[in-house]
Amino acid sequence: MNKWTYSIFITYLLLGIYVLVVTMRVPLIGIGVDTTSGQPVIADFYYPDWAQQKNIEKGDILLTIDGKLAEDVRSIQRYSIVSCAKELTFIKPNGDVHSVSVKHKDIPEELYLQIIFPLFYFVLSFSVAIYLRRRSKENQLTSLLTLFLLTCSLAYISTGASGRGDLIGMFVIVIGIVLCLVLFIHFLQLYFHYLHLNWPYINTKWLYLIPLFIFCCYCVVIVVPDLKTITALINLGLFAVLVLYAIYILLTSYLRTKLAKIRLIAIAFITPFLPFLLFFVVPEILGHDPILNPELAAIFLLFIPFSFIFIQLNERLFDIEYQLSRLRYYSTLAFISTLLLTTGITILFLDQLSIVKITSVFILAFFIIVASFYIKEQLDFKYRKIIFSSTGNYVHNLYAAVNRMGKAKNQQELLDRFKYEITEKLGTTAFTITTITEDVPFTQGEVNTGNDTTHLLLHDTGEEKIV
Protein backbone atom coordinates (compact mmCIF):
# COMPACT_ATOMS: atom_id res chain seq x y z
CA MET A 1 0.00 0.00 0.00
CA ASN A 2 1.19 3.52 -0.75
CA LYS A 3 1.21 6.46 1.70
CA TRP A 4 -2.12 7.79 0.39
CA THR A 5 -3.80 4.44 0.98
CA TYR A 6 -2.33 4.19 4.48
CA SER A 7 -3.62 7.70 5.25
CA ILE A 8 -7.15 6.78 4.15
CA PHE A 9 -7.18 3.55 6.17
CA ILE A 10 -5.83 5.28 9.28
CA THR A 11 -8.38 8.12 8.95
CA TYR A 12 -11.29 5.68 8.68
CA LEU A 13 -9.90 3.60 11.54
CA LEU A 14 -9.49 6.59 13.86
CA LEU A 15 -12.99 7.87 13.06
CA GLY A 16 -14.41 4.40 13.63
CA ILE A 17 -12.67 4.06 16.99
CA TYR A 18 -13.82 7.54 18.03
CA VAL A 19 -17.53 7.02 17.28
CA LEU A 20 -17.42 3.56 18.85
CA VAL A 21 -15.91 4.97 22.06
CA VAL A 22 -18.64 7.65 22.13
CA THR A 23 -21.26 4.91 21.73
CA MET A 24 -19.81 2.71 24.47
CA ARG A 25 -19.25 5.53 26.93
CA VAL A 26 -22.93 6.07 27.72
CA PRO A 27 -26.03 3.95 26.92
CA LEU A 28 -28.73 5.21 24.57
CA ILE A 29 -32.18 5.31 26.21
CA GLY A 30 -34.32 7.58 23.99
CA ILE A 31 -36.89 8.78 26.53
CA GLY A 32 -39.32 11.35 25.09
CA VAL A 33 -40.50 14.07 27.47
CA ASP A 34 -43.26 16.67 27.51
CA THR A 35 -42.11 20.10 28.69
CA THR A 36 -45.33 22.05 28.12
CA SER A 37 -46.03 22.14 31.87
CA GLY A 38 -42.59 23.56 32.59
CA GLN A 39 -41.33 20.22 33.91
CA PRO A 40 -39.86 17.32 31.88
CA VAL A 41 -42.65 14.74 32.14
CA ILE A 42 -41.89 11.31 30.66
CA ALA A 43 -44.12 10.75 27.62
CA ASP A 44 -42.58 7.98 25.49
CA PHE A 45 -39.93 5.23 25.48
CA TYR A 46 -37.63 3.91 22.77
CA TYR A 47 -37.02 0.78 24.87
CA PRO A 48 -40.34 0.11 26.68
CA ASP A 49 -39.24 -3.30 28.05
CA TRP A 50 -36.27 -1.71 29.78
CA ALA A 51 -38.44 1.11 31.17
CA GLN A 52 -40.91 -1.42 32.57
CA GLN A 53 -38.06 -3.40 34.11
CA LYS A 54 -36.75 -0.24 35.83
CA ASN A 55 -40.24 0.88 36.92
CA ILE A 56 -40.16 4.01 34.77
CA GLU A 57 -43.64 5.01 33.63
CA LYS A 58 -45.30 7.70 31.57
CA GLY A 59 -46.18 10.66 33.78
CA ASP A 60 -43.05 10.39 35.94
CA ILE A 61 -41.11 13.65 36.23
CA LEU A 62 -37.38 13.65 35.50
CA LEU A 63 -35.31 15.41 38.13
CA THR A 64 -31.68 14.83 37.18
CA ILE A 65 -29.70 13.22 34.36
CA ASP A 66 -26.17 12.17 35.30
CA GLY A 67 -26.34 14.54 38.26
CA LYS A 68 -27.45 17.51 36.15
CA LEU A 69 -30.87 19.11 36.39
CA ALA A 70 -33.09 17.70 33.63
CA GLU A 71 -34.27 21.18 32.58
CA ASP A 72 -30.66 22.17 31.82
CA VAL A 73 -29.92 19.22 29.50
CA ARG A 74 -29.57 20.47 25.92
CA SER A 75 -31.34 17.53 24.25
CA ILE A 76 -34.43 18.23 26.40
CA GLN A 77 -34.30 21.96 25.70
CA ARG A 78 -33.97 21.49 21.93
CA TYR A 79 -35.67 18.22 21.05
CA SER A 80 -37.65 17.18 24.19
CA ILE A 81 -35.80 13.89 24.44
CA VAL A 82 -33.28 12.24 26.75
CA SER A 83 -30.98 10.61 24.23
CA CYS A 84 -28.49 8.97 26.59
CA ALA A 85 -27.63 8.74 30.26
CA LYS A 86 -25.74 6.73 32.87
CA GLU A 87 -28.01 7.61 35.77
CA LEU A 88 -31.55 9.00 36.05
CA THR A 89 -33.47 10.41 38.99
CA PHE A 90 -37.24 10.79 38.67
CA ILE A 91 -40.23 11.36 40.88
CA LYS A 92 -43.45 9.38 40.81
CA PRO A 93 -46.89 11.06 40.88
CA ASN A 94 -47.22 9.92 44.53
CA GLY A 95 -44.01 11.76 45.45
CA ASP A 96 -41.61 8.78 45.61
CA VAL A 97 -38.14 9.54 44.24
CA HIS A 98 -36.25 6.82 42.37
CA SER A 99 -32.76 6.60 40.95
CA VAL A 100 -31.88 4.29 38.07
CA SER A 101 -28.39 3.26 36.97
CA VAL A 102 -28.34 2.69 33.20
CA LYS A 103 -26.03 0.00 31.77
CA HIS A 104 -25.62 -1.43 28.27
CA LYS A 105 -26.24 -5.00 29.45
CA ASP A 106 -29.65 -4.00 30.83
CA ILE A 107 -30.80 -3.00 27.31
CA PRO A 108 -29.95 -5.97 25.03
CA GLU A 109 -31.45 -4.28 21.94
CA GLU A 110 -29.18 -1.28 22.44
CA LEU A 111 -26.14 -3.46 23.14
CA TYR A 112 -26.57 -5.60 20.03
CA LEU A 113 -27.79 -2.98 17.55
CA GLN A 114 -25.66 -0.05 18.70
CA ILE A 115 -22.38 -1.76 19.62
CA ILE A 116 -21.94 -5.44 18.76
CA PHE A 117 -23.36 -5.51 15.21
CA PRO A 118 -21.77 -2.19 14.13
CA LEU A 119 -18.42 -3.26 15.58
CA PHE A 120 -18.62 -6.63 13.82
CA TYR A 121 -19.58 -4.90 10.56
CA PHE A 122 -16.76 -2.36 10.84
CA VAL A 123 -14.12 -5.03 11.51
CA LEU A 124 -15.48 -7.23 8.72
CA SER A 125 -15.56 -4.37 6.19
CA PHE A 126 -12.07 -3.27 7.18
CA SER A 127 -10.79 -6.83 6.72
CA VAL A 128 -12.45 -7.14 3.31
CA ALA A 129 -11.05 -3.75 2.25
CA ILE A 130 -7.52 -4.78 3.27
CA TYR A 131 -7.98 -8.10 1.47
CA LEU A 132 -9.03 -6.34 -1.74
CA ARG A 133 -6.09 -3.94 -1.54
CA ARG A 134 -3.59 -6.75 -1.00
CA ARG A 135 -5.01 -9.13 -3.61
CA SER A 136 -5.83 -6.57 -6.30
CA LYS A 137 -3.77 -4.24 -8.39
CA GLU A 138 -3.39 -0.63 -7.23
CA ASN A 139 -6.01 0.96 -9.47
CA GLN A 140 -8.93 3.33 -9.17
CA LEU A 141 -11.51 0.56 -9.32
CA THR A 142 -10.09 -1.16 -6.26
CA SER A 143 -9.73 2.19 -4.49
CA LEU A 144 -13.37 3.12 -5.09
CA LEU A 145 -14.67 -0.27 -3.95
CA THR A 146 -12.51 -0.03 -0.83
CA LEU A 147 -13.76 3.49 -0.08
CA PHE A 148 -17.35 2.34 -0.65
CA LEU A 149 -17.02 -0.50 1.85
CA LEU A 150 -15.28 1.65 4.46
CA THR A 151 -17.72 4.54 4.08
CA CYS A 152 -20.73 2.21 4.47
CA SER A 153 -19.28 0.66 7.61
CA LEU A 154 -18.25 4.03 9.07
CA ALA A 155 -21.74 5.45 8.49
CA TYR A 156 -23.26 2.38 10.15
CA ILE A 157 -21.00 2.45 13.19
CA SER A 158 -21.65 6.21 13.59
CA THR A 159 -25.38 5.73 14.22
CA GLY A 160 -24.76 5.28 17.95
CA ALA A 161 -22.62 8.43 18.29
CA SER A 162 -25.09 10.46 16.23
CA GLY A 163 -28.02 9.29 18.34
CA ARG A 164 -26.14 10.47 21.43
CA GLY A 165 -25.85 13.96 20.00
CA ASP A 166 -22.17 13.79 19.10
CA LEU A 167 -21.38 16.40 16.42
CA ILE A 168 -18.69 14.35 14.62
CA GLY A 169 -20.90 11.26 14.65
CA MET A 170 -23.77 13.26 13.15
CA PHE A 171 -21.64 14.64 10.30
CA VAL A 172 -20.11 11.23 9.59
CA ILE A 173 -23.45 9.46 9.22
CA VAL A 174 -25.32 12.15 7.27
CA ILE A 175 -22.46 12.57 4.80
CA GLY A 176 -21.53 8.89 4.78
CA ILE A 177 -24.92 7.50 3.74
CA VAL A 178 -24.96 9.61 0.56
CA LEU A 179 -21.20 9.56 -0.09
CA CYS A 180 -21.09 5.74 -0.12
CA LEU A 181 -23.74 5.69 -2.88
CA VAL A 182 -21.90 8.32 -4.93
CA LEU A 183 -18.71 6.24 -4.59
CA PHE A 184 -20.60 3.13 -5.70
CA ILE A 185 -22.02 4.87 -8.80
CA HIS A 186 -18.53 6.23 -9.58
CA PHE A 187 -17.23 2.67 -9.26
CA LEU A 188 -19.91 1.51 -11.72
CA GLN A 189 -18.87 4.18 -14.24
CA LEU A 190 -15.21 3.07 -14.16
CA TYR A 191 -16.18 -0.60 -14.14
CA PHE A 192 -18.26 -0.09 -17.28
CA HIS A 193 -15.25 1.58 -18.91
CA TYR A 194 -13.15 -1.41 -17.81
CA LEU A 195 -15.65 -3.75 -19.50
CA HIS A 196 -15.68 -1.52 -22.63
CA LEU A 197 -19.36 -0.71 -22.11
CA ASN A 198 -21.05 2.57 -22.93
CA TRP A 199 -22.00 4.84 -19.98
CA PRO A 200 -25.15 6.74 -21.03
CA TYR A 201 -25.77 8.09 -17.52
CA ILE A 202 -24.83 11.23 -15.57
CA ASN A 203 -21.11 11.82 -15.13
CA THR A 204 -20.42 10.90 -11.52
CA LYS A 205 -18.24 13.94 -10.81
CA TRP A 206 -21.43 16.04 -10.54
CA LEU A 207 -22.87 13.68 -7.92
CA TYR A 208 -20.09 14.59 -5.48
CA LEU A 209 -21.88 17.92 -5.03
CA ILE A 210 -24.62 16.06 -3.10
CA PRO A 211 -22.48 15.19 -0.02
CA LEU A 212 -21.14 18.75 -0.10
CA PHE A 213 -24.71 20.09 -0.14
CA ILE A 214 -25.65 17.85 2.82
CA PHE A 215 -22.60 19.08 4.74
CA CYS A 216 -23.66 22.70 4.21
CA CYS A 217 -27.23 21.93 5.28
CA TYR A 218 -26.12 20.44 8.59
CA CYS A 219 -23.76 23.34 9.21
CA VAL A 220 -26.89 25.53 9.04
CA VAL A 221 -28.69 23.14 11.44
CA ILE A 222 -26.03 23.79 14.08
CA VAL A 223 -26.97 27.48 13.98
CA VAL A 224 -30.72 26.96 13.44
CA PRO A 225 -31.75 23.70 15.24
CA ASP A 226 -35.39 24.09 14.11
CA LEU A 227 -34.30 23.06 10.59
CA LYS A 228 -33.10 19.65 11.77
CA THR A 229 -36.29 17.79 10.82
CA ILE A 230 -36.54 19.12 7.28
CA THR A 231 -32.80 18.67 6.75
CA ALA A 232 -33.06 15.05 7.86
CA LEU A 233 -35.90 14.47 5.38
CA ILE A 234 -33.81 16.05 2.60
CA ASN A 235 -30.94 13.75 3.52
CA LEU A 236 -33.14 10.65 3.45
CA GLY A 237 -34.76 11.82 0.20
CA LEU A 238 -31.39 12.18 -1.54
CA PHE A 239 -30.37 8.79 -0.17
CA ALA A 240 -33.52 7.24 -1.66
CA VAL A 241 -32.94 8.94 -5.03
CA LEU A 242 -29.33 7.69 -5.20
CA VAL A 243 -30.34 4.12 -4.28
CA LEU A 244 -33.05 4.07 -6.95
CA TYR A 245 -30.69 5.64 -9.48
CA ALA A 246 -28.03 2.98 -8.81
CA ILE A 247 -30.67 0.23 -9.15
CA TYR A 248 -31.86 1.82 -12.40
CA ILE A 249 -28.29 1.82 -13.77
CA LEU A 250 -27.74 -1.83 -12.82
CA LEU A 251 -31.06 -3.12 -14.15
CA THR A 252 -30.99 -1.23 -17.46
CA SER A 253 -27.34 -2.18 -18.00
CA TYR A 254 -28.01 -5.84 -17.34
CA LEU A 255 -31.03 -5.87 -19.66
CA ARG A 256 -28.85 -4.25 -22.32
CA THR A 257 -25.75 -6.44 -21.96
CA LYS A 258 -26.92 -9.63 -20.17
CA LEU A 259 -23.49 -9.77 -18.50
CA ALA A 260 -23.29 -12.05 -15.46
CA LYS A 261 -20.79 -9.67 -13.82
CA ILE A 262 -23.33 -6.85 -13.80
CA ARG A 263 -25.99 -9.18 -12.45
CA LEU A 264 -23.63 -10.17 -9.63
CA ILE A 265 -23.05 -6.51 -8.73
CA ALA A 266 -26.81 -5.83 -8.88
CA ILE A 267 -27.51 -8.65 -6.42
CA ALA A 268 -24.68 -7.49 -4.14
CA PHE A 269 -26.08 -3.94 -4.07
CA ILE A 270 -29.86 -4.44 -4.10
CA THR A 271 -29.90 -7.15 -1.39
CA PRO A 272 -28.60 -4.91 1.44
CA PHE A 273 -29.90 -1.48 0.38
CA LEU A 274 -33.46 -2.19 -0.78
CA PRO A 275 -34.80 -3.47 2.58
CA PHE A 276 -33.30 -0.44 4.38
CA LEU A 277 -34.91 1.82 1.78
CA LEU A 278 -38.35 0.18 1.88
CA PHE A 279 -38.64 -0.59 5.60
CA PHE A 280 -37.20 2.63 7.03
CA VAL A 281 -36.39 5.43 4.58
CA VAL A 282 -39.62 5.49 2.53
CA PRO A 283 -42.02 5.35 5.54
CA GLU A 284 -39.94 8.05 7.27
CA ILE A 285 -40.11 10.34 4.22
CA LEU A 286 -43.88 9.80 3.90
CA GLY A 287 -44.40 10.68 7.57
CA HIS A 288 -45.39 7.17 8.69
CA ASP A 289 -43.87 5.01 11.42
CA PRO A 290 -41.01 2.92 9.99
CA ILE A 291 -41.72 -0.78 9.53
CA LEU A 292 -38.34 -1.45 11.15
CA ASN A 293 -36.34 0.93 13.31
CA PRO A 294 -33.14 2.19 11.62
CA GLU A 295 -30.77 -0.01 13.63
CA LEU A 296 -32.71 -3.18 12.78
CA ALA A 297 -33.17 -2.23 9.11
CA ALA A 298 -29.45 -1.48 8.83
CA ILE A 299 -28.62 -5.10 9.72
CA PHE A 300 -29.17 -5.90 6.03
CA LEU A 301 -26.05 -3.82 5.31
CA LEU A 302 -24.03 -6.71 6.75
CA PHE A 303 -24.47 -8.39 3.38
CA ILE A 304 -22.34 -5.73 1.64
CA PRO A 305 -18.84 -6.99 2.55
CA PHE A 306 -19.91 -10.61 2.06
CA SER A 307 -21.33 -9.81 -1.37
CA PHE A 308 -18.53 -7.64 -2.69
CA ILE A 309 -15.79 -10.06 -1.68
CA PHE A 310 -16.93 -12.03 -4.76
CA ILE A 311 -16.48 -9.09 -7.12
CA GLN A 312 -13.02 -9.33 -8.64
CA LEU A 313 -11.55 -6.20 -10.17
CA ASN A 314 -8.31 -7.70 -11.34
CA GLU A 315 -9.50 -9.84 -14.26
CA ARG A 316 -9.95 -12.97 -12.16
CA LEU A 317 -11.49 -15.52 -14.48
CA PHE A 318 -13.64 -17.78 -12.33
CA ASP A 319 -17.01 -18.99 -13.49
CA ILE A 320 -19.44 -16.44 -12.07
CA GLU A 321 -22.48 -18.51 -12.98
CA TYR A 322 -21.03 -21.46 -11.08
CA GLN A 323 -20.24 -19.31 -8.03
CA LEU A 324 -23.74 -17.81 -8.05
CA SER A 325 -25.47 -21.16 -8.43
CA ARG A 326 -23.36 -22.64 -5.63
CA LEU A 327 -24.11 -19.66 -3.35
CA ARG A 328 -27.84 -19.92 -4.15
CA TYR A 329 -27.83 -23.65 -3.43
CA TYR A 330 -25.99 -23.31 -0.10
CA SER A 331 -28.05 -20.26 0.92
CA THR A 332 -31.33 -22.07 0.24
CA LEU A 333 -30.28 -25.07 2.33
CA ALA A 334 -28.96 -22.79 5.06
CA PHE A 335 -32.13 -20.65 5.06
CA ILE A 336 -34.41 -23.67 5.48
CA SER A 337 -32.20 -25.16 8.22
CA THR A 338 -31.88 -21.82 10.00
CA LEU A 339 -35.61 -21.17 9.81
CA LEU A 340 -36.38 -24.55 11.40
CA LEU A 341 -33.70 -24.05 14.05
CA THR A 342 -34.83 -20.51 14.92
CA THR A 343 -38.49 -21.57 15.02
CA GLY A 344 -37.63 -24.36 17.46
CA ILE A 345 -35.60 -22.03 19.69
CA THR A 346 -38.39 -19.43 19.62
CA ILE A 347 -41.00 -22.00 20.67
CA LEU A 348 -38.80 -23.31 23.50
CA PHE A 349 -37.85 -19.87 24.83
CA LEU A 350 -40.86 -17.83 23.74
CA ASP A 351 -41.06 -15.68 26.88
CA GLN A 352 -37.30 -15.10 27.14
CA LEU A 353 -36.33 -13.94 23.65
CA SER A 354 -36.99 -10.53 22.11
CA ILE A 355 -37.30 -9.96 18.36
CA VAL A 356 -33.73 -8.61 18.33
CA LYS A 357 -32.33 -11.77 19.94
CA ILE A 358 -34.32 -14.01 17.59
CA THR A 359 -33.09 -12.02 14.57
CA SER A 360 -29.52 -12.22 15.90
CA VAL A 361 -29.76 -16.00 16.31
CA PHE A 362 -31.18 -16.36 12.79
CA ILE A 363 -28.44 -14.24 11.14
CA LEU A 364 -25.63 -15.88 13.10
CA ALA A 365 -26.90 -19.41 12.44
CA PHE A 366 -27.44 -18.66 8.73
CA PHE A 367 -23.87 -17.46 8.21
CA ILE A 368 -22.41 -20.33 10.25
CA ILE A 369 -24.32 -22.94 8.23
CA VAL A 370 -23.34 -21.36 4.88
CA ALA A 371 -19.70 -21.21 5.99
CA SER A 372 -19.93 -24.86 7.12
CA PHE A 373 -21.07 -25.92 3.63
CA TYR A 374 -18.07 -24.21 2.05
CA ILE A 375 -15.69 -25.73 4.62
CA LYS A 376 -17.20 -29.19 4.06
CA GLU A 377 -16.73 -28.75 0.32
CA GLN A 378 -13.04 -27.99 0.79
CA LEU A 379 -12.55 -30.86 3.24
CA ASP A 380 -14.28 -33.31 0.88
CA PHE A 381 -12.11 -32.07 -1.96
CA LYS A 382 -8.92 -32.45 0.06
CA TYR A 383 -9.49 -35.74 1.86
CA ARG A 384 -12.13 -37.84 0.07
CA LYS A 385 -10.41 -37.90 -3.33
CA ILE A 386 -13.30 -39.88 -4.88
CA ILE A 387 -12.13 -43.10 -3.21
CA PHE A 388 -14.36 -45.45 -5.19
CA SER A 389 -13.79 -43.96 -8.65
CA SER A 390 -13.21 -46.62 -11.34
CA THR A 391 -10.65 -44.30 -12.94
CA GLY A 392 -8.37 -44.37 -9.92
CA ASN A 393 -7.13 -40.94 -8.90
CA TYR A 394 -7.46 -39.30 -12.33
CA VAL A 395 -10.79 -37.63 -11.62
CA HIS A 396 -9.46 -36.07 -8.42
CA ASN A 397 -6.35 -34.88 -10.27
CA LEU A 398 -8.60 -33.26 -12.86
CA TYR A 399 -10.60 -31.47 -10.16
CA ALA A 400 -7.36 -30.39 -8.46
CA ALA A 401 -6.04 -28.95 -11.74
CA VAL A 402 -9.26 -27.01 -12.34
CA ASN A 403 -9.15 -25.76 -8.74
CA ARG A 404 -5.56 -24.54 -9.12
CA MET A 405 -6.37 -22.71 -12.35
CA GLY A 406 -9.51 -21.22 -10.79
CA LYS A 407 -7.32 -19.40 -8.24
CA ALA A 408 -5.61 -17.35 -10.96
CA LYS A 409 -6.01 -13.61 -10.36
CA ASN A 410 -5.55 -12.45 -13.97
CA GLN A 411 -5.38 -13.70 -17.53
CA GLN A 412 -1.59 -14.11 -17.67
CA GLU A 413 -1.50 -16.09 -14.42
CA LEU A 414 -4.28 -18.34 -15.71
CA LEU A 415 -2.34 -19.04 -18.91
CA ASP A 416 0.84 -19.74 -16.91
CA ARG A 417 -1.02 -22.27 -14.76
CA PHE A 418 -2.58 -23.78 -17.87
CA LYS A 419 0.93 -24.26 -19.33
CA TYR A 420 2.04 -25.92 -16.10
CA GLU A 421 -0.87 -28.38 -16.15
CA ILE A 422 -0.23 -29.32 -19.79
CA THR A 423 3.47 -29.83 -19.08
CA GLU A 424 2.75 -32.00 -16.05
CA LYS A 425 -0.03 -34.11 -17.58
CA LEU A 426 1.35 -34.56 -21.12
CA GLY A 427 5.03 -34.50 -20.23
CA THR A 428 5.88 -32.10 -23.07
CA THR A 429 6.81 -28.46 -23.57
CA ALA A 430 6.37 -28.56 -27.37
CA PHE A 431 3.46 -26.10 -27.41
CA THR A 432 2.87 -22.35 -27.41
CA ILE A 433 0.01 -20.12 -26.30
CA THR A 434 -0.31 -17.08 -28.53
CA THR A 435 -2.65 -14.09 -28.83
CA ILE A 436 -3.67 -13.21 -32.38
CA THR A 437 -6.07 -10.74 -33.99
CA GLU A 438 -6.79 -12.45 -37.32
CA ASP A 439 -9.65 -14.88 -37.88
CA VAL A 440 -9.11 -18.63 -37.52
CA PRO A 441 -11.01 -21.42 -39.33
CA PHE A 442 -12.21 -23.09 -36.12
CA THR A 443 -14.44 -22.16 -33.19
CA GLN A 444 -13.75 -21.75 -29.50
CA GLY A 445 -13.13 -25.08 -27.78
CA GLU A 446 -12.68 -26.91 -31.12
CA VAL A 447 -9.53 -28.96 -31.69
CA ASN A 448 -8.18 -28.47 -35.22
CA THR A 449 -5.37 -30.61 -36.64
CA GLY A 450 -3.48 -29.80 -39.85
CA ASN A 451 0.09 -29.50 -41.18
CA ASP A 452 1.38 -31.68 -38.33
CA THR A 453 0.08 -29.10 -35.81
CA THR A 454 -2.90 -29.23 -33.46
CA HIS A 455 -4.69 -25.97 -32.60
CA LEU A 456 -7.14 -25.24 -29.81
CA LEU A 457 -8.94 -21.90 -29.54
CA LEU A 458 -8.98 -21.13 -25.81
CA HIS A 459 -10.60 -17.69 -25.81
CA ASP A 460 -12.26 -15.43 -28.38
CA THR A 461 -13.28 -11.84 -27.65
CA GLY A 462 -13.87 -10.93 -31.29
CA GLU A 463 -10.96 -8.51 -31.40
CA GLU A 464 -8.34 -10.96 -30.17
CA LYS A 465 -8.03 -14.70 -29.83
CA ILE A 466 -5.90 -16.93 -27.60
CA VAL A 467 -4.73 -20.05 -29.46
Residue-level pLDDT, tens digit, the chain, 467 residues: 567 777 888 888 898 889 888 888 888 888 888 888 777 888 888 888 888 888 888 888 888 888 788 777 887 877 778 888 888 888 888 778 888 888 888 888 888 888 888 888 888 888 877 777 776 655 677 788 888 888 888 888 888 888 787 888 888 888 988 998 899 899 888 888 877 888 888 888 888 998 898 888 888 888 787 777 788 888 888 888 898 999 899 889 888 888 777 887 887 778 778 877 887 788 778 777 777 777 677 777 767 766 665 554 444 434 455 566 777 788 889 899 999 988 888 888 777 777 777 887 888 888 889 888 888 877 776 665 544 444 445 666 676 777 777 666 667 777 788 888 777 777 777 778 888 878 777 777 778 787 778 888 887 766 678 88
Closest CA relative to residue 207, chosen from 236, 241, 231: 241
pLDDT value at residue 136: 61
pLDDT value at residue 387: 44
Contacting residues for 71 by C-beta, under 8 A, at least 6 apart: 39, 40, 77
Contact between 178 and 157 under an 8 Å Cβ cutoff? The reply is no
Q: At what angle do helices 167-194 and 260-276 cross, to 10 degrees?
A: 160
453 vs 431: CA distance, rounded Å: 10
Residue 153's Cα: distance from chain center in Å? 7
CB burial of residue 298 (10 Å; 0-12, 13-18, 19+): buried
Radius of gyration of the chain (CA): 28
398 vs 402: CA distance, rounded Å: 6
**Interstrand relation of 61-65 and 68-69 (parallel, antiparallel or unpaired):** antiparallel
Which domains occur in the chain, in start order?
1-25+104-315 (no CATH), 28-102 (2.30.42.10), 432-467 (no CATH)
Contact between 14 and 22 under an 8 Å Cβ cutoff? The reply is no
Amino acid at position 232, single letter: A
Q: At what angle do helices 411-426 and 394-406 cross, to 10 degrees?
A: 160
Q: At what angle do helices 355-379 and 320-348 cross, to 10 degrees?
A: 140
